[in-house]
Amino acid sequence: MSFPKPEPGHWAYEAVLDLDRLAPGLLGEVLRGTHTRRQVVCAALSLRDWINLSQHGKLALAQKLRFAKTQVLIADTFGSNPEGFIACLAKMGPCYQPPDFYAGLYLLYVNPLASEAIAYLNRRRAFAVEFACIVPPGIVRLATLGSVFLKRDLFDLVGFLCCASEVECIVRFLRRATPKVADDEIVDALINTDWAKPLDLVVKCFIGGRRVSPVDALSADSAFECLSTGELLQRAGNMFSNCLGGRVYEKMLLRKRDLFFIWRGDEPAVLRLTRAFGFWRLQEVKGPKNRPLSPAAAHKLATILEPLGIFCPLCGPSSGSGGS
């Protein structure tokens, strides 16, 4: 996000532009202000449904953004101003974030179990742009998984590999597929794995080879149809206007490492499941004419497949914390 530049349609710019008419000079102050002030303005707006505020509410918000001191603005928005919170925002520099990041960062700073994460962020005198784009948002995402995931060992991996979203997918899957596995065990596996190798190996150590075939698991669900022959692939390809009926996919079917299904959900789709490392994963999912599923449909699909032991990394979190 380049907040100082007028970008029509961007959440923070649009909010300030709308409120400027109620507190003339607000837009200019924000655009000319320091990165710290702009980050604080973003944080203050992150919890405000400014579009649906009454005229009186918008006026009050505009006046606060225009005239309130930084510490007062944060305390008024969040209820308190935890030590180090504004300094962390300042170190983010020009790396402005979506609204959920600011709410998540505040919750991190008031979480008594997040001392290791806070110390890690506070020790940095300044964030390089690359670090600011990846690590603080990544730690906020890890925090949503629970305080047990706020380990320095994972923070270093987030910074090096930009893997917070991958960790989220693995944790979500293991919680659904192996609910008896404790979070501490998952954390230990993530920390001790060789990250130069596929992350599927983390999944394998908990689930590899212990589940029934998806054909058997989904046979009782009328929403799924197994495409077990070349003729069925061809029919599905015609139905979904894609190349599923081609020789490439027929050869995949013959190798016995791939399974194909039609899912007749709210958004019909064709699924390709691939077996590797001893378990099945969702390798491809496409709607008609190869359109992607909406986040809501992908989430619903994952809630069906993952308890069966089918890993769905393509159905990841619908909202991210990275800059945009």
Question: In tens digits, what is the pLDDT along the chain, a chain of 324 residues?
Answer: 456 555 555 788 888 988 999 999 998 888 888 999 999 999 999 998 888 888 899 999 999 999 999 999 999 999 999 999 999 999 999 899 999 999 999 999 999 999 999 999 999 888 999 899 899 999 999 999 999 999 998 888 887 666 888 899 999 999 999 999 999 999 999 988 887 788 888 898 888 666 678 999 998 899 999 999 999 999 999 999 998 888 888 888 888 889 999 999 989 999 999 998 889 999 999 999 999 999 999 999 999 999 999 999 988 764 433 333
Which among 85, 70, 76 is positioned nearest to 34, based on CA atoms? 70
Instruction: Mark out the alpha helices in 123-266 (DSSP H runs).
Output: 129-143, 152-161, 164-177, 183-192, 200-207, 214-218, 230-240, 247-255
What residues pair up with 147 in beta bridges, in sequence order? none
- What would you measure as the largest C-alpha separation in the chain, in angstroms? 70
Is 113 strand, coil or helix? coil
Q: In this structure, what DSSP letter does residue 148 have? A: G
Q: In this structure, what DSSP letter does residue 207 have? A: H
CA distance linking residue 116 with residue 300, whole number of Å: 34
Q: CB of 27 within 8 A of CB of 16? A: yes
Which among 209, 207, 215 is positioned nearest to 232, based on CA atoms? 215
Q: What per-residue confidence (pLDDT) applies to 322?
A: 37
Q: What per-residue confidence (pLDDT) applies to 208?
A: 65
Q: What per-residue confidence (pLDDT) applies to 182?
A: 95
| DSSP output for 6-67 | --TT-HHHHHHHHHHTTSTTHHHHHHHS-HHHHHHHHHHHHT--GGG--HHHHHHHHHHHHH
Which among 47, 39, 51, 40 is positioned nearest to 15, based on CA atoms? 51
CA distance linking residue 177 with residue 173, whole number of Å: 6
CA distance linking residue 51 with residue 217, whole number of Å: 46
Q: In this structure, what DSSP letter does residue 263 have? A: E
> pTM for this structure?
0.82
C-beta neighbour count of 132 within 10 angstroms: 21
Written as one letter, the residue type at 145 is: L
